[in-house]
Amino acid sequence: MTQETILIGLAGILAASAPIVFAVLGETLSERAGVINLSMNGTILLSAMGGFAVAYTTNNIVLGFLAGMLIGALVALIVAFASITLNQSQVAVGFVLALTCRDLSYFLGNPYMGVPGPRLQAIPIPVLSDIPILGALFFRQDAITYTSFMAIILTWVWIYRTRPGLMLQGIGEKPAAAYIRGANVNLMRYVYTVIGGALIGLAGPAFSLASRAGWMGTISGLDGFGWIALSITIFGGWNPARAAFGAYLFGFLQWLGLVLQPVLTQVPSQVLQVAPFPLMILTLLLVNIGNAEWVERTLAAMPESTRKFFAKLLRAMRASPPAALGVPFERD
Amino acid sequence: MLKSRFSGLLFQIIALALSFGVVSLILISIDASPTEAFRNMFKGSFGEMRKFAEVLVAFVPLLLVTAGLLVTFSAGLWNIGVEGQVVLGAIATTWVYRYFLESDLPPALIITLAIFGGMIGGAIWAAFTGILKVFGGVNEIFGGLGLNFVATALTIYLIFGPWKRPGVASMSGTVPFPDEFSLPLLANLRISPWALGIALIAIIIVFFLLQGTYFGLKLKAVGKNFRAAYLLGIPTWQYAMYSFLICGALAGLAGAMQVAAVYHRLIPSISSGYGYLGLMVAMLINYQAIWAIPVALFFAALNIGSIQLPIVMKLDSSLSGVLQGVLVLFALLVEGARQKFIKKGQNT
Amino acid sequence: GTPATEAPPAETEAPATDAPATEAATEAPAEPFVFGMLLVGPYNDGGWSQAHYEAGQYVEEKTGAKMIYLDKVNPADRPGTTPDQLAEELVAQGAKLVIFNSDDMKDASTTFAKANPDVFVIMASGDQVWPDGKAYEEIPNLMNIMGRMEYGKMIAGCAAALSSTTGKIGYLGPLINDETRRLTASAYLGAKYCHEKAAKTTDLEFKVTWIGFWFHIPGFTTDPVDVSKDFYTTGFDVVISGIDNSVNLPEAQKLTAEGTPSLAVAYDYINACDVAPEVCLGVPFFNWGPDYLAAIQSAADGSWESQFIWSGPDWTDLNNHDTSAIGFVKGDALSAENAAILDEFIAELAGGLDLWTGPINLQDGTPYLADGEVASDQQVWYLPQLLEGMQGLSASE
Amino acid sequence: MNVEFKNVNKHFGNVHANKNINLTIPSGSIQGILGENGAGKSTLMKVLSGFIHADSGSEILLDGKSVIMNSPADAIKHGIGMLHQDPLDFPPMKILDNFLLGMPSSFFPNRKEATQDFNLLATEYGFSLDPENYVDSLTVGERQQLEIMRLLFLGVRLFILDEPTTGISTAQKEKLFATLRKFPEQAMTVIFVSHKLEDVESLCDRVAVLRAGELVGELTPPYQTKKFVEMMFGKEVTLGERQSAPVGETVLSLNDVSLEDARLKIKNINVEIREGEVIGLAGMEGSGQNLFMRACAGLVRPVGGKIQLKGQDLSGKSYHVFKKNGVSFLPAARLEEALVPGLTLTDHFVLAEEPRGIFIDRVAGQTLAEERIKSFNIRGAPLSPVESLSGGNQQRAELALLQNPLSLILLEHPTRGLDIESVIYIWGKLKERCKQNASIIFMSSDLEEILQYSDRVLVFFSGKISQPMNANKTSVEELGELIGGKGWAEIGGEHA
Ligand SMILES: Nc1ncnc2c1ncn2[C@@H]1O[C@H](COP(=O)(O)OP(=O)(O)OP(=O)(O)O)[C@@H](O)[C@H]1O
Ligand SMILES: Nc1ncnc2c1ncn2[C@@H]1O[C@H](COP(=O)(O)OP(=O)(O)OP(=O)(O)O)[C@@H](O)[C@H]1O
Ligand SMILES: [Mg+2]
Ligand SMILES: [Mg+2]
């Protein structure tokens, strides 16, 4: 393969991963505030269908994307209401919505099967696109891919560099402490869950109006991305940058499976495709093992020096979730 | 207590009404007649003996999965990996069958071995999730999800790789097994009384396990208050593992039934989504084994009955999934609302 | 259950309760002949299944017959069901003949046909009742119907070769089996022939990438969109679709608009080009109508006989809706002069040109057809490998 | 600023945590709030800081103006800041982030400036904290310093400190007090909540004492320790005959055992406890008695030393091993650690028994439950879920779960929240166990109870443990001073 083709391949990965990036960022925001939105898989399908349907009927691609975000926000609102206001298990509600929204998208999407609809085109950015390598990689993409780049930067900056972002970290970590610092915890949880939902909802149209144009119902090949995105969120350790990296890594491995097909003739293509998942589990193990209590017990048994060393090592790998993830906050 | 139970019933009825209301609205929105849709689904499931038999075919694995999940749920675990455990059960069963394909052991024995193989396969797969959870600190939801993908990939690999039909590789799965490998079916019907029996026995066992035994009680304690259970002298993490193993075995049994009584071979989507559907049933019955049978039957009926929708009304069958989901959703929401009311009542 | 006990109650209840049935009853003076169809994909998938569905509609309008169908007949979309069980649903709705439209339903169609001797069965793309076939069984109420898409693929390959500026042609393969192997090979033969015919200066490269299934399943199959993109961006300026939904079209359209000239050949369904006409070189399509019509009439008038039908095109009028089992519709992207050469090629085929003539070697070099030897139907149908000169896997192991 | 409570009431369910509090705190003063555990101090402060809402009718006036405090946000607006009893900060985050979090800074907080401000403030008050360090690496004292700095930077004018001196070293404490003494000069009012007499005495201009949610009185210097103790713990109640079982040979012995947790270290404990003996642990919450108790139960691994039970070395063994060897531990947090909400009384009794076979004999369980409920006169039915029991009855249930025989019973606050009759009743039960050669270690914030029921007393004060003191030879006053950290010099050498 020439450098050119590799570059194009990588650029393709950046574009193809845009939807997952949105989903992962949305989930990260929501979980940072302490709410797990397990509905992703369904939300993405429903917003893909809804976004396409709207763009198709109004022949306005922007409206399509907005519709997708709206759908995502509404689903997230149900999750928020059920878990924050009604104190129901976030996991249960999210899971139910994941299945329901999927079937709903198939049921309502029938009329739009296979109809040719609007689709985003790449817009090379004048000067930047001519920069040797970077130009080909980053600046010959379509609008939604550019948006995904921005989204990564924005969420990262928001969480780690702004005042409200700092408060967001606090809310997910220890709501009571955030509360005495003047935060309206439950309101903020609503807000971030809904915003996160909107981002997740953006993933749908990012498929159906850009990278995988059109709606093909059950054979659209979108069912499953939501669950994948969920694992990537954990892999990302609730850090937008790391999460986005996870999304790209996943895309890269898929692409590798494709280009390696002629080489690894022994392995059916399906196996290469699934390679990311064992990997994902492994990383989950690495980042979580520090949280297991037998580790702490064995550490306690170790002599001072070794204990310190291992503790450091574990801390380095460890990505513990926001301490209050899934924990309702009630003042009295 | 009684009062709250009564109000519980009342609220459940409200949830039911709301669900059917919403689904009716969806149908009206695409100007289809709700009454006709529901009637067709009912006719398509309970209309005649043959159809009811089909319902039972779906009911068996669904009930088995639900039974398993009741165990993990009472240990406070969200075993979303059950889907993959069904798959591994099917794979293991297929493996045993293939192993004895040429042997001259009595078929009955081979079938039994195959079914046990399935249970072991499921249990092993569940054990992975359990180990990840107990020793790796990996939340069972994420571990389970990952393993689900791996399980499905494994099926596809086997079907297109080592176990593929001579020359061909197709979604129709591995070579069908000889008829004597199949659990005996009722005359002219596709349901195997054996499968049905096994499923019913399983749920009864689980019911008593959770209601009547020390094991079940300890499991509940672990599920409801890990810390206190530990101080009361219960080896908490062992019990967590046990619950995974039991659920895995039952899920594996469901997979075995899919192979031994329904498809007579390994097919790509052998689990038929029963794992996830089982989670829904468990949630809807609020983890009470008593209600498992009727609700699982109802969900199975929706699955089968919905086949009529495309044939008769040109509607997509996924409506059944929507209805199932909306039911559970409202059950949860309404339960939440109910608890809020009760709380209000206490405070004032 | 056996229709003997099943059908009557179903029959009697059908008109009474089912709106569509009653309408049909009022429309047609005589009780219409009802035939059922099981579609593996969505009836409107713009591909394989839709081609069957519209053939059914064709039969409906030619005869008074009435079609009832069930789509998405696959374990993923219909958990816990088997095609034979679903066929019985159609029988319960009054179907006297059932069409199984996918290779995946082969076993089920056999089971069903044996269990319901008085229901007629058509197994599309199967070979159970082919006396010369490898899996011959005698099933009096079952018929196999398939179109000789080999020709369609040859024409597709030809169009691709003529239009390619790089001489590199990509083939979007589904899963690997006899059918997909022989069709892919045919496309290659057509490409090879026309590449030489038009005395192209480039040298021909023909590469197959199998995605692993008839359509994309995230996490398990290679994404056909990525495959197409990868082809186009690595110099393969034409991609021929061999999968159910021709996703290479929108991708070609996008990349062309973005400055990478890309062309596509669709598959299966006569109107498949409509998704992106300006990049479409054409589509080889199935026209199941005529054969289904004949079969269903024979079933209705009692002249039915179990047989294996592998119909070729009507060379006098390739795209004749009433006579030709397969056809090829040229797309807007096919230049005038290439269209002319393509027509010549078609004429040659009509004149008896058979590209399945030796010398032909298998991919691993073993001779398959000696010089001048013409392939038998079996040799074509059961092609064991891809052909020499083709890149890509021959088998999944 | 001047703070005034008017008829402040607060109920938690049926718990009346604050009863009609009327209190005025003059501007620029350091007000002490004194009271035993559960007296209602934190509740009152949480009300003042907007963290919880008082019952309707309650009123709070700042500088004479009635204010409604809906949330801490409002409190902050009014310049009220509170240092909570259990530090409300974000351990996994950086110190600087903790400092910045909630600051009215610009949208993009300028970390450089913030760091400068932080260091300035730190030097001004003589704290040494590295803003880039993580909070979970700090001692409790340092975390308090961080909170104080944050509140100072917020510019609060009313400073509430809820038991800031539990679990910080004397040195740190001095530093803290030095800081606090500077505040009145800047017209800042300080409310200092504690049950440590010496702290209050050395720091506060005035002291209000709470007991059982009521304001029982206010004092101003010069203070007499005796008066404090009397007001805090209320007037004696007659507990009948003091009885102690004949003591046999050693059950539990700790040799040079050292314990540590995040909060404090205890070094070289040497104790021997004999059959039939009752040991009372006196000390304020978090002075080390929990750590000691959990070490005896096998829940905390000693970092050094040897724990022997009936001559058998159990050091480093797990809780279950201790339990098998007849050690039983009853934690204070009933619904968190001791009982399983959602299970009935019967379930609990069945769980506590050795399983007989696989299936539970419901009838036997029922009768067992009935007889336990009767003999421990628990107000509740065999089938009532434990969470539906009243606090006191939950406590009785916990005691009813003790199996037989036992060699060592460890109890955290065995009678907290029980009315006096039940206290006497429960102790009757426990003493029976002693007669059956079980020995008991219990902790309590009720000194009367300790004196009344224990043979020997261990006093804890921020990680220090007194020698075992003979209960007959000491008094509420002495203990009261000791747990307040006074008079340790005198008892230093004493042996029981
Ligand atoms: N959130 C709550 N829910 C129920 N009861 C509570 C709650 N908070 C406090 N209480 C009860 O209110 C009473 C007063 O508690 P509070 O914390 O004010 O006591 P305190 O004087 O601070 O005790 P300590 O010295 O141990 O901190 C106690 O009986 C306590 O159990
Ligand atoms: N979660 C609950 N569900 C049902 N009833 C409850 C619940 N909590 C408390 N109760 C009931 O409310 C009443 C008062 O409970 P509370 O714990 O305040 O009693 P108390 O006054 O503290 O008594 P005690 O002195 O024994 O602690 C009790 O009768 C108890 O049964
Ligand atoms: Mg307090
Ligand atoms: Mg109480």
Judged by DSSP in three states, C263 sits in: strand
Contact check, Cβ <8 Å, A268/B335: no
DSSP-based three-state secondary structure for B10: helix
For D160, the token pair is 């509430």
Ligand 1: residue whose CA is nearest its atom 14: D40
Least confident of B100-109, B250-259, D280-289: D280-289
| B249 — pLDDT class (breaks 50, 70, 90) | very high
**How many other CB atoms are there within 10 angstroms of residue C53's CB atom?**
23
CA angle centred on A225, ends A143 and C39, rounded to 5°: 105
DSSP tag of C357: B
The answer to whether B124 contacts chain A (CB < 8 Å) is no
**Best interface-test mutation with C: which of A227, A270, A280 has the largest number of C CBs within 10 A?**
A270
Non-local (6+) Cβ contacts of A187 within 8 A are none
> Which residue in chain D is spatially nearest to B233 when comparing CA positions?
D320
Chain A nearest-CA distance from D263, in A, is 16
Q: What is the mean pLDDT of residues A78-92?
A: 93
pLDDT at A202 over 60: yes
Nearest to C164 by CA among C212, C198, C123, C132: C198
**Distance (Å, rounded) from C-alpha D141 to C-alpha D123?**
16
Tell me which chain A residue has its CA closest to the CA of residue B76: A89
Give the integer Cα–Cα distance in Å for B53 and B39.
Answer: 18
Q: Please judge whether D337 and B231 are an interchain contact, meaning their C-beta atoms are less than 8 angstroms apart.
A: yes
Could you give the CA distance from residue B63 to residue B67 in angstroms, rounded to a whole number? 6
How do residues B320-333 score in pLDDT, each as one tens digit? 999 999 999 999 99
**pLDDT for C8 beyond 50:** no
CB nearest D90 (choices: A170, A300, A332): A170
Residue of C nearest to A222 (CA): C218
Tokens of C50: 């839709």
Q: Which helix (H) or strand (E) holds D35?
A: strand D30-35
Q: Confirm if C164 and C239 have CB atoms less than 8 A apart.
A: no
| Chain D contacts in chain B segment 317-346 (CB below 8 A) | 346
Residue D478 tokens, joined: 């002495």
Half-sphere exposure of B189 (CA within 13 A, CB side): 17
pLDDT score recorded for residue B124: 97
**In the 3-class helix/strand/coil scheme, how is D326-382 assigned residue by residue?**
CEEEECCCHHHHHCCCCCEHHHHHHHHCCCCCCECCHHHHHHHHHHHHHHCCCCCCC
CB of D414 closer than 6 angstroms to any ligand 1 atom? no
Q: Which two tokens stand for residue D148?
A: 């104080």
3-state SS of A264-277?
CCCCCHHHHHHCHH
Percent of chain A whose predicted confidence (pLDDT) is above 70: 90
* Token pair of D118 as six digits: 């932080």
D361 near B CB under 8 A: no
Measuring from atom 31 of ligand 1, which residue has the nearest CA? D38
- Using the mean position of ligand 4's atoms as its centre, give its distance from the Cα of residue D209 in Å: 21
Which two three-digit tokens encode residue A178? 């955030």
For D217-273, the pLDDT digits (tens) are 888 888 887 777 777 766 544 455 566 666 778 899 999 998 877 667 888 899 999
At A270, the pLDDT band (50, 70, 90 cuts) reads low
D94 and D100 Cβ atoms separated by less than 8 Å: no
Domain boundaries, chain D: 3-233, 250-326+404-491, 343-402
Six-digit token string for D66: 């009635």
Sign, Cα dihedral of A162, A164, A168, A169: positive
Q: Which ligand is nearest to the CA of D335?
A: 2
Q: Which of A52-66, A96-110, B151-165, D219-233 has the lowest mean pLDDT?
A: D219-233
C-alpha to C-alpha distance for A312 and B122, rounded to whole angstroms: 37
Read off the pLDDT of each residue in D103-110 and give the average, rounded to a whole number. Answer: 86
With the most atoms of ligand 2 within 8 angstroms of its CB, the residue from D376, D390, D393 to mutate is D390
pLDDT band at A307 (very low <50, low <70, confident <90, very high): low
Evaluate whether A231 touches A40 at the Cβ level (below 8 Å). no
Phi, psi angles (nearest 5°) of residue B125: -65, -40
**Do residues C37 and C69 lie in contact, with contact meaning Cβ atoms separated by under 8 Å?**
yes
Give ∠ CA A218-A224-A227 in degrees, rounded to 5. Answer: 150
Task: Determine how many CB atoms are found less than 10 A away from the CB of residue D79.
Answer: 16
Quick one: which H or E segment has residue A294?
helix A293-301
Mean pLDDT of chain C: 87
Does D488 sit in the ligand 1 pocket, CB within 6 Å? no
Nearest CA to ligand 2 atom 24: D392
Neighbours of chain B (3+ CB pairs under 8 A): A, C, D
Mean pLDDT of chain A: 87
pLDDT digits over C237-288, tens only?
A: 999 999 987 889 988 998 898 788 999 999 999 999 988 899 999 999 999 9
- Nearest-CA residue for ligand 2 atom 13 is D390
pLDDT of residue D495: 35
pLDDT higher than threshold 80 for residue C195: yes
Please tell me the distance between residue C378's alpha carbon and the centre of ligand 4 in angstroms.
88
At A82, the amino acid letter reads A
Residue B269 CA neighbour count, 13 Å, CB half: 19
Amino acid at residue number D309:
L
Q: How many angstroms separate the CA atoms of A322 and B156, rounded? A: 37
pLDDT at position A93, please?
95
- Both tokens assigned to D7: 């008829």
- Separation of alpha carbons D185 and A250, rounded Å: 62
Q: Is the pLDDT of residue D166 over 70?
A: no
Which chain A residues contact residue C237 at CB under 8 A? Answer: none
**Hey, what CATH class is A3-317 in?**
mainly alpha
Are D8 and D215 contacting, i.e. CB atoms less than 8 angstroms apart?
no
pLDDT exceeds cutoff 50 at D419:
yes
- The ligand minimizing its distance to the Cα of D44 is 1
For ligand 1, say whether the CB of D41 is within 6 Å of any of its atoms: yes
Contact (CB, 8 A) for D287 and D249: no
The sign of the CA dihedral D356, D357, D359, D361 is negative
**Phi/psi at C123 (nearest 5 deg)?**
-105, 100
Task: Indicate whether residue D388 lines ligand 2 (CB < 6 A).
Answer: yes
Structure tokens, C98 = 């059932």
Fill in the amino acid letter for C248.
N
What is the structure's pLDDT at A300? 63
**Local confidence band at C188 (pLDDT 50, 70, 90 cut-offs):** very high
Distance from C-alpha of C387 to C-alpha of C361, rounded to nearest angstrom: 6
Instruction: Report the amino acid identity of residue A326.
Output: G
Could you give the C-alpha distances from C37 to A304, C40, C71, C123, C165, in angstroms and in order?
74, 10, 8, 10, 43
**Average pLDDT over every residue of A206-210:** 94
Going from N- to C-terminal start, the domains of chain A cover: 3-317
Which residues, including other chains, have CB under 8 Å from residue A88's CB and lie 6 or more apart? A82, B332, B333, B335, B336
Measured distance between the N- and C-terminal CA atoms of chain B, rounded to whole angstroms? 18
Count of pairs with CB atoms under 8 A, one residue in A, one in C: 124
Q: Supply C221's token pair.
A: 């199959």
> pLDDT at position B317, please?
87
Chains D and C touch (3+ CB pairs under 8 A): no
Mean pLDDT of chain B, nearest integer = 90
Query: In angstroms, rounded to a whole number, what is the distance separating the alpha carbons of residues C43 and B26?
Result: 22
Q: Is C135 helix (H, G, I), strand (E, B) or coil?
A: coil
Interface subset of C 339-368, CB within 8 angstroms of A: none
Closest CA to B76 of B273, B275, B218: B218
Please, which residues have CB within 8 angstroms of residue B113's CB and are 6 or more apart in sequence?
A: B96, B100
Q: Which of B208-212, C13-17, C44-48 has the lowest mean pLDDT?
A: C13-17
Please report, as a single letter, which amino acid is at residue D61: L
Return the CATH number of the domain spanning residue range D250-326+404-491: 3.40.50.300
| Strand-pair partners of D385 | D344
Checking phi first, is residue D463 left (phi over 0); if not, alpha (psi -120 to 50) or beta? left
Q: How does residue C19 score in pLDDT terms, banded at 50, 70 and 90?
A: very low
Is residue D322 within 8 A of residue D298, CB to CB? The reply is yes
A156's tokens: 């990262």
**Ligand 1 binding pocket includes D38 (Cβ within 6 Å):** yes
Residue C300 pLDDT greater than 80, yes or no: yes
Q: Is the pLDDT at D29 greater than 50, yes or no?
A: yes
Instruction: Report the residue from B146, B315, B322 with minimal CB separation from A104.
Output: B322
Nearest CA in chain A to D301: A300
pLDDT band of residue C292 (cuts 50, 70, 90) is very high
* CATH class, range D3-233: alpha beta
- What pLDDT does C26 receive? 46
Residue nearest to atom 26 of ligand 1 (CA): D37
DSSP state, C271? T
* Closest by CA position to A85, among listed A228, A187, A203: A187
Task: Round to whole Å and give the CA distance between A121 and A332.
Answer: 54
- D426 CB-near residues (< 8 Å, 6+ apart): D395, D396, D399, D414, D415, D418
Q: Which residue did the predictor score with more confidence, C306 or A234?
A: C306
Q: What is the DSSP letter of D107?
A: S
Cross-strand bridge partners of residue C98: C36, C121
pLDDT of res. B83: 96
- Residue D435 or residue B92, greater confidence: B92
The model carries a pTM of 0.88
Is residue D14 lining ligand 2, measured as CB closer than 6 Å? yes
Pocket test for ligand 1, best of D16, D43, D416, D483 (most atoms within 8 A of CB): D43
User: D30 in helix, strand or coil?
Assistant: strand
HSE of B176, CA atoms in CB hemisphere, 13 A: 16
* Cβ distance of B54 and C19 shorter than 8 Å: no
Mean pLDDT of B172-188: 86
Beta strands D464-465; D304-309: pairing state = unpaired
If one counts every other C-beta atom within 10 angstroms of the C-beta of residue C131, the result is 8
Looking at the complex, report in whole angstroms how far the Cα of residue C194 sits from the nearest Cα belonging to chain A: 26
How far, in Å, are B130, B206, D78 from residue A274 at the CA level?
Answer: 22, 35, 58
Instruction: Supply the pLDDT for residue C56.
Output: 95
pLDDT surpassing 50 at residue C7? no
Inter-chain residue contact A103 with B147, CB threshold 8 Å: no
Please indicate if any CB of chain B lies within 8 Å of the CB of D340: yes
Give the Å distance between the CA of D39 and the centre of ligand 1. Answer: 7
Domains and CATH numbers, chain B: 1-32+315-348 (no CATH), 56-314 (1.10.3470)
Identify the closest residue of chain B to D388 by CA–CA distance.
Answer: B1
Cα A252 to its chain centre, rounded Å, is 16
Chains D and B touch (3+ CB pairs under 8 A): yes
Instruction: Place D303 in a pLDDT band, splitting at 50, 70 and 90.
Output: confident
ipTM of the complex: 0.86
